A and B are shown apart, each in its own frame.
Chain A
Amino acid sequence: MPHLLDVDHVVRKFGGLTAVNDVSLHLDKHELVALIGPNGAGKTTLFNLLTGMVQVTSGKINLQVDDKNYDLTHKSAVQIADLGLSRTFQNIRLFKDLTVMDNVLTAMTNEYKENFLTTVFRLPSFYKTEKEMRAAAQKLLAIFDLTENEQTLAKNLPYGTQRRLEVVRALATHPQILFLDEPAAGMNPEETADLTNLIKYIQKEFQITVLLIEHDMSLVMNLAERIYVLDQGEILATGSPEEIKANPKVIEAYLGEGDD
């Protein structure tokens, strides 16, 4: 039985540096998986490979949706996004000068078709589509408690809220798989707790698969059904949170380093 996403012996080299070395992993439907590892382990590069922002040096990435196979290996970021893989960014990449609402609507660009003439001459079908899009966006914003900020410019939001908005925007593309790159970075414990619940909620509500990179171990252990540990570009260990916690290799490479 093939998995939803199959990553098969993927390698990525930058010049002489091997950022991702022979990584194989898989995601199944409706799983919540965490990817952890020390700084510089290649986690974000792996995300970039999976979302087509960076091309693999060798290896294969395969997506299986509704018994259909899609080879993602050499697809562009746009094609991959269209196939239902969506992501957030470690260093927040919102559309800063757009409102919260417009940030979310932007993610629905490909979903709603609107022809040039009905748009520029404001024919009734324009207003109909626009209304549908806004209703869909408002629903998402409400889940994330952002209704109040609808007309705020993204750049004027507090840091933690910006991170939440990025998750909303990624969700607005109706993804099969959601990649979250350090969604709790820079949040206070209260915000982190809220976010943990939210991620759990949306994963159930929207029936999606989530892969998240996170340094906050309480969040990871609380959320993840499975964990991959990446170190120096290679998969060091994989298993349930309990197994990872007990794995001596992991403790040495990662958990032992700091005390967080």
Chain B
Amino acid sequence: MKSNWKYILSWLLLMVGGFYLINALIMVGVIDDFIENMLVTIGINIILATGLNLIIGFSGQFSLGHAGFMAIGAYATAIITQRMSSEAGFLVSMFVGVLLAIIIAAIIGTATFIRLKGDYLAIATLGAAEIIRNVINNLKITGGAAGLYNIPQLCSWPTVYILFCVTTIILTNFIRSKNGRAIKAVREDEIAAEAMGINTTKWKLAAFVLGGATAAIAGSLHASFLQTISPSNFGIMESISILVIVVLGGVGSMTGTFVAAIVLGVLDTALQSFGALRMVIYAIVLILIMIFKPAGLLGNWEFSLKNLTRHFGKKERS
């Protein structure tokens, strides 16, 4: 019991320490606006990709529609904070976005998970996300194809940092629990899982809804931080770029998702000066990593303080 508290405390210290480290680096000018933007983008991408990894890597369901949930959060925040420009408005908008995402994810999931698997499921989720985008594209309140701009900036990097920590805590703790085991059992073998009394549809849905809810949070942050959104931000390409982070890091490794989001974020920033050649280099790097590391950068390895201390403990003893 005591050791549990030790780990919780260590993690909390790590998170608070990270916050003050970034803060200090901004104060002394090591992190300029440019790098701050990069960090925020990485943070938002981690929220998106860890949620998608829960769906793909842990529950084993192939979703290609993650950007659809991001769009829901982004538009909820844009529309509400334009009318209610305050911190409270931002929180309300995020709550509304999450709620909507949960409802829509539940509808999509209930309709598709019972009957569809694998690539067919991927295409159905892709289709569902495109329908969401198409509707947004045609509504007046969402500003149509031009999108919404002058969204009040009610979130700064600390907001992103805090929510990034909260979603990470929720997702990783969810996975390392009874729920996570049930979800992984569904991924491993649906028939055996059902024989153990595990309602496969229900657990797939749980992962999908939780992933969708975190994507909506990421969308809210995206809208409020960048202050401009349009339907084209949330298309298939966005879903795919989230998928790329998940696969590159290692399907089923949250640590890998972190590493991949950081690597890709830094690479993207570093390549800014290459102009048009940037995407060409990005594509080649992507292909090469996949050819030489098909299981992703980290496979399914997870970082854990417990194992780390165990490891060092062993070394000391021997």
Contacts and interface: CB of A to CB of B under 8 A. Distances in A.
Q: Do chains A and B touch in the complex (CB under 8 A)?
A: yes
A119 B173 CA distance: 7
Contact of A102 (B174, B179, B181, B197): B181
Interface residues of B, number: 27
Nearest to A81: B197
A109 interface: yes
Given A98-B188, A119-B178, A87 B195 contact: yes
B191 A93 contact: yes
B198 interface: yes
A154 to B, nearest CB: 9
Interface size class of A (residues with CB under 8 A): 35 or more
A53 B195 contact: yes
Interface of A: 51, 53, 76-78, 81-82, 86-87, 89, 93-98, 102, 105-110, 112, 114, 116, 119-122, 126-127, 129-130, 133, 169-170, 173
B177 interface: yes
B29 to A, nearest CB: 37
Interface string B1-40: 1001000100000000000000000000000000000000
A95 B169 contact: no
Contacts of A95: 184-185, 188-189, 192-193
Given A95-B189, A120-B173, A133-B178, A127 B1 contact: yes
Interface of B: 1, 4, 8, 169-170, 173-174, 177-179, 181-182, 184-185, 188-189, 191-200, 300
A94 B8 CA distance: 32
A112 B197 CA distance: 12
A81 B196 contact: yes
Contacts of B182: 106, 109
22 contacts: A81-B195, A86-B196, A87-B195, A93-B191, A95-B184, A95-B193, A97-B184, A98-B181, A98-B184, A102-B181, A102-B184, A105-B181, A106-B182, A107-B197, A109-B182, A119-B177, A119-B178, A120-B169, A120-B174, A129-B178, A130-B178, A170-B196
